[in-house]
Amino acid sequence: MSGTIRVLVADDQALVRGALATVLDLEAGIEVVARAGSGATALAEARRVRPDVAVLDVQMPDGDGIGVCAELVAALPGCRVLMCTTFGRPGYLSRALAAGATGFVVKDASPEDLVDAVRRVHRGLRVVDPALAVESLAHGTSPLTPREREVLAAVAGGGDDVAALARSLGMSRGTLRNHLSSAIGKTGTRTRAEAARVAERNGWL
């Protein structure tokens, strides 16, 4: 049908993916043309079907939604990206917008709000969950450097041996300790595990 908004839905939870696709497919003028359960699949499907709008979950295996967003915007400039996540963390919002997302909504939004968001981002309008926007302004942007984020992400992933962490990240133990010390100071915590938890909770990782 002429004028139909072609949508890709990517979420690692099959039930959520199906529910989002069903809500959108029921709307006149919107057609879900592809579904994906991982970041890698989302990119492959987007390149195959060239959707008008990609609805991406933030947390997915094989490439998180924010990284996928950046790649999609670069590869398919005509595709708008709407991030849709369970976790309304302020850091996610700022990172997603920096990656080129046009909109950001949380999964407890109403079906009507989701449909409206898809239509609006398709028109090139910015759509951001109001409560999350306020919280993001209150928290500010992430204070962490890219290297500090990388180190804390490794800690959050279960790394607790300094020597092993340093080897996996390709840095000396002294450099690793410096990054950890800086990140601990910036997050106002006392240990690297606490720093990783705070950074994760704020969506900085």
- 150 and 127 together in one domain: no
- 102 and 46 together in one domain: yes
Q: Return the higher-pLDDT residue of 127 and 92.
A: 127
Q: Which domain holds residue 184?
A: 146-201
- 98 and 154 together in one domain: no
Q: Please list the alpha-helical segments (H only) found in 83-161.
A: 90-99, 111-122, 130-139, 146-156
- 44 and 108 together in one domain: yes
- 37 and 98 together in one domain: yes
Q: Has residue 202 got a pLDDT over 80?
A: no
- 117-137 pLDDT, tens digit each: 999 999 999 998 876 665 665
* Mean residue pLDDT across the chain: 88
Q: Residue 110: how many CB atoms within 10 A of its CB?
A: 10
Query: CATH number for the domain including 15?
Result: 3.40.50.2300
- 118 and 181 together in one domain: no
d(CA 44, CA 197) in angstroms, rounded, equals: 32
Q: Return the higher-pLDDT residue of 36 and 190.
A: 36
- 158-178 pLDDT, tens digit each: 767 888 888 889 999 889 988
Q: Residue 90: how many CB atoms within 10 A of its CB?
A: 22
- 83 and 11 together in one domain: yes
- The band of 1, judged by pLDDT with boundaries at 50, 70 and 90, is very low
- 43 and 75 together in one domain: yes
pLDDT of residue 140: 59
- 83 and 151 together in one domain: no
- 48 and 101 together in one domain: yes
d(CA 65, CA 152) in angstroms, rounded, equals: 19
- 167 and 69 together in one domain: no
Strand, helix or coil for residue 43:
helix
Q: Has residue 88 got a pLDDT over 70?
A: no
- 83 and 47 together in one domain: yes
At position 20, the amino acid (one-letter code) is L
Q: What are phi and psi of 96, to 5 degrees?
A: -65, -45
- The band of 41, judged by pLDDT with boundaries at 50, 70 and 90, is very high
- Which residues, including other chains, have CB under 8 Å from residue 97's CB and lie 6 or more apart? 104, 128
Among 103, 124, 139, which residue terminates a domain? 139
Quote the pTM value. Answer: 0.69
Number of structural domains, the chain? 2
Two structure tokens written together for 182: 């800086």
